[in-house]
Amino acid sequence: MPTLTQLNYIVALHRAGHFGKAAAECRVSQPTLSVQIAKAEAELGFVLFDRRSKPIMATEHGLGFIAMAREVLQANARMLAAAGRTRTLSGSFHLGVIPTLAPYVLPWLVGPFAQRCPDVQLTVLERTTSNIVDEITAMRMDAALLATPLGEATLQRAVLFYDPFYLFAHRSSALLEVGDVDIATINRGDLWLLEDGHCFRNQVVHLCGLHTRTLLPSVRFEAGSFDTLRGLIDSTGGVTLFPESYVRTLPAVVQRAQVRAFQDRIPTREVSLVTHRAHWKTDIVEVIADIIRQHAPRSLPRELGKREVLPVLG
């Protein structure tokens, strides 16, 4: 049977779809990886990969074998972790993060993590929530920074902080004339949202009751980022909702002129570090959670306490 090293090469090639990329991931030369995979195929008696396809694809027999190989590697990693053989944090770690968190949370994490875990090869992947959930469920991704809860039985979360929402409006908006605003005062026809695929868009749609309307002729779904939303509103008018993690990046003069807090119940999203229930890289997960909690602004609470909030689903 193939060795654990060969299984690792096989799984890496299936993930990368390219011999050179798989070899770089495994930190070996391309000829070494190619020879070892060919040797494993000879021992197994069938071909694992169609080398003529671009990217390289697994054969029908290969797909079933690769799924079992992944399980073997995961079981081996769990045994090593349980036995305490890894005294220092090392190896690879794939962290997913949604686009509405990546630009604001990653600066708190990347530098401190590199200092505390210099032997861990951290790969950060910016993906949508649905894509990340699929990757973690298949255990192809170690953990992710997501808006929660998700309602996925195979996943577990460690809450990092809570991110309240604010109203952002064009300078001419009448909503800016009041101190605090309420969800009910927002004209849905003036509301700008992120494009399909962003969980933050779904949160605002649910929060503002847009899902109850059969037609949305005046609601536009064109923006791919918070910065784009801000530019659209500044140039054409309208309003939107921004999380505090983004609001903090705006110039103080913009915050004073165009941002307003909600009164009474504050719309708030929960941000968590999500993993598969069977994950084993516990020590690295704990380091990531600890770093983010330490570096997150104090205005982003770790617990809701007595704050009257309106939770929004991830």
> What are 182's strand-pairing partners?
none
> What would the pLDDT profile of 250-269 be if each residue is shown by its tens digit?
999 999 999 999 887 788 88
Tell me the CA distances in angstroms from 52 to 20, 56, 57, 89, 151, one per residue in order.
15, 7, 9, 38, 41
- Is it true that domain 4-83 has CATH number 3.30.70.2750? no
**Tokens of residue 149, six digits:** 């809860």
**CB 266, CB 243: distance < 8 Å:** no
Distance CA 200, CA 271 (A): 12
Residue in 207, 183, 192 with CA at minimum distance from that of residue 269: 207
The pLDDT value given to residue 196: 62
Helix/strand/coil percentages in the chain, nearest 5: 45, 25, 30
Q: Give the position of tokens 């005062």.
A: 185
Would residue 180 be called left, alpha or beta, if left means φ above 0 and alpha means ψ between -120 and 50 degrees? beta
How would CATH label the architecture of 163-267?
3-Layer(aba) Sandwich (3.40)
Q: Give the position of tokens 């600066």.
A: 107
Distance CA 90, CA 84 (A): 13
Listed as ranges, residues in the chain with pLDDT below 70 are: 81-87, 195-198, 206-223, 305-314
Which run of H or E residues covers position 207? helix 199-207
The pLDDT value given to residue 83: 64
Give CATH superfamily name and number for 91-161+269-312.
Periplasmic binding protein-like II (3.40.190.10)
The pLDDT value given to residue 212: 37
**CB 163, CB 311: distance < 8 Å:** no
Distance CA 192, CA 128 (A): 19
**Tokens of residue 31, six digits:** 């000829």
Give CATH 3.40.190.10 domain extents, the chain: 91-161+269-312, 163-267
Spatial neighbors of 14 by CB under 8 A, at least 6 apart, are: 49, 58, 62, 66
Give CATH 1.10.10.10 domain extents, the chain: 4-83
The pLDDT value given to residue 232: 87
The pLDDT value given to residue 266: 84
The pLDDT value given to residue 308: 58
The pLDDT value given to residue 211: 43
